[in-house]
Structure 1
Amino acid sequence: MGKSNRNTDRRQAAEALRRQQAAEARRRKIVFGVAIGAAVVLIGGLLVWGIWMNSKPEYEVNEPSAAVTDTYAVQIGDGPVEIDLYIDYMCPACNQFESAYAEQIQSWVDDGSVTVNYHPLTILDRLSSGTEYSSRAAAAAVCAADAGEQQFLDYTLALYANQPAENSEGLTDEELIAIGTDDVGLGADWQSCVEDETYRGWVQEGNANATGEQGVSGTPTAKVNGEVVENSAFADEVQAAIAG
């Protein structure tokens, strides 16, 4: 091979190496750019989430005038056996539980056998398309408790009778008020309590307490004298506790 041919080969090899290096540099630049873009999207998403969390309204924690516990439960009855019921007004299983046991619970309350602590939780706010239905319904129910124990129980049953589906927007405030006024007979003071969102902060504190300190992870959860019981065995467990 002549000298000129060898020089040509070297130039071609050098040119090929330069093209390879340039292509590699472009590839690194693209990968770096994509990584930076992804990081910006992630940071942006975290910022939006943080802004949304910080922009959520902070509700004043008002103490109900109804009988309540220090664990944010509405207290019904004054019997020796203590029942704690953790419920969510958007929870279908809670509706089924109430349908199965409401009459029995009422009879225990009426004969002075039990004290029932209703803990209205807000776990399923995430399944109401941003309207926080569980919080709004729970706060309205606590307003009903201020009107009396029976009004709370009647409003609870009325909410379950009109229960919206999960992953819907739930009932509007106007619908919550109509149920209370038309179906339960609650008055103007109750309506003002709902419209003013008087107990939104109280039920949110209750949800945090139940899912935090009390370790409740789902609804319905039932306790008899402080011990969690199976929902299917609830009536038997209460009867056994009453029998002593």
Structure 2
Amino acid sequence: MGKSNRNTDRRQAAEALRKQQAAEAKRRKIVFGTAIGAAVVLIGGLLAWGIWENSKPEFPVNEPAAAVTDSYGVQVGDGPVEVDLYIDYMCPACNQFEQTYAAQIQSWVDDGSVTVNYHPLAILDRLSSGTEYSSRAAAAAVCAADVGEQEFLDYTLALYAGQPAENSEGLTDDELIAIGRDEVGLGSDWESCVDDDTYRGWVSEGNADATSDQGVTGTPTAKVNGEVVENSAFADQVQAAIDAG
């Protein structure tokens, strides 16, 4: 099979996954409010430990080649409505948020309605048995953003599809790379970026900024034009901002 066919297969696989999630989104929204509330409360209660653990960078703070914000967000899209999403790749509630809203977010990005700033955090490093999975996954996702906006979105989708359980060791770096290579079609430069821990320091700085300067008390946290919104009402709030624009 040629390279172009493999890339087509990967794109089709990512699109199929997005469509499957969109089909299930309506059902998830019914139970989303209760589940997300409980999860955020739990994370908020343990946040002080996470701030202490992740506030000091252990790696150089390298600026991504991708478009990023001053508050350590990976910028996707260029629409007038500003959306900020603070996520952790080991957070089950973030996974549910992604599965519920990914297709809608993609639609808003595609039609130029929104700019979405993804802030990959590492609050839940403590729940990966010492492997710092949240930090490693976040840094790998930022590497994907260097390749392109769509690659970042597809890699985020794939990471959540294969999300490890809390209090496990998480995925290894080799498994993080396999997901990007086999499911998203990311290449050797991206693999080197992951292997070199290129953005571990940047993620750590972003974690400290979110929890100290941005007032983030748990994940997922969503902001629309700078204002925190209830996760269960996220789509309605974004659409209202678009309509008001």
Task: Compute the displacement of 1:58 (Å).
Answer: 1.9
- Is the alpha carbon distance of 1:200 and 1:186 closer, same or farther for their aligned partners in structure 2, counting shifts above 3 Å? same
Mapped partners of 1:91, 1:121: distance in 2: 10
Mapped partners of 1:208, 1:187: distance in 2: 30
Structure 2 partner of 1:215: 215
- Aligned-pair identity (%): 84
Mapped partners of 2:98, 2:58: distance in 1: 31
TM-score (norm 1): 0.77
Deviation beyond 4 Å, 4+ runs, structure 1: none
Please tell me whether residue 108 in structure 1 is matched to residue 108 in structure 2: yes
In 1, are the aligned partners of 2:57 and 2:201 still within 8 Å (CA)?
no
Task: Compute the displacement of 1:57 (Å).
Answer: 7.5
Q: Which has the larger radius of gyration?
A: 1
SS at the partner of 2:137? helix
- 1:159-197 alpha-carbon deviations (Å, 9 max, x no partner): 000000000000000000000000000000000000000
- 1:11-47 alpha-carbon deviations (Å, 9 max, x no partner): xxxxxxxxxxxxxxxxxxxxxxxxxxxxxxxxxxxxx
AA of the residue aligned to 1:117: N
Mapped partners of 1:94, 1:169: distance in 2: 18
Structure 2 partner of 1:93: 93
Task: Compute the displacement of 1:217 (Å).
Answer: 1.1
In 1, are the aligned partners of 2:93 and 2:220 still within 8 Å (CA)?
yes
* Structure 1 range deviating more: 211-220 or 56-65: 56-65
- 1:57-89 alpha-carbon deviations (Å, 9 max, x no partner): 720000000000000010000000000000000
Please tell me whether residue 61 in structure 1 is matched to residue 61 in structure 2: yes
Tell me: higher relative CO, structure 1 or 2? Use CA pairs within 8 A at least 6 residues apart: 2
SS at the partner of 1:84? strand
Mapped partners of 1:240, 1:157: distance in 2: 25
Aligned residues: 190
Task: Compute the displacement of 1:215 (Å).
Answer: 1.2
Mapped partners of 2:232, 2:59: distance in 1: 36
Mapped partners of 1:58, 1:87: distance in 2: 21
Please tell me whether residue 188 in structure 1 is matched to residue 188 in structure 2: yes
Mapped partners of 1:143, 1:217: distance in 2: 26
Mapped partners of 1:236, 1:193: distance in 2: 37
Could you list the runs of 5+ residues in structure 1 that have no partner in the other structure? 1-52
Mapped partners of 1:103, 1:180: distance in 2: 20
Structure 2 partner of 1:175: 175
Please show how residues 28-47 of structure 1 align to structure 2 within 5 Å. none
Structure 1 partner of 2:161: 161
AA of the residue aligned to 1:66: A
- 1:120-151 alpha-carbon deviations (Å, 9 max, x no partner): 00000010000000000000000000000000
Task: Compute the displacement of 1:103 (Å).
Answer: 0.3
SS at the partner of 1:180? helix
Mapped partners of 1:242, 1:68: distance in 2: 22
Please tell me whether residue 78 in structure 1 is matched to residue 59 in structure 2: no
TM-score (norm 2): 0.76
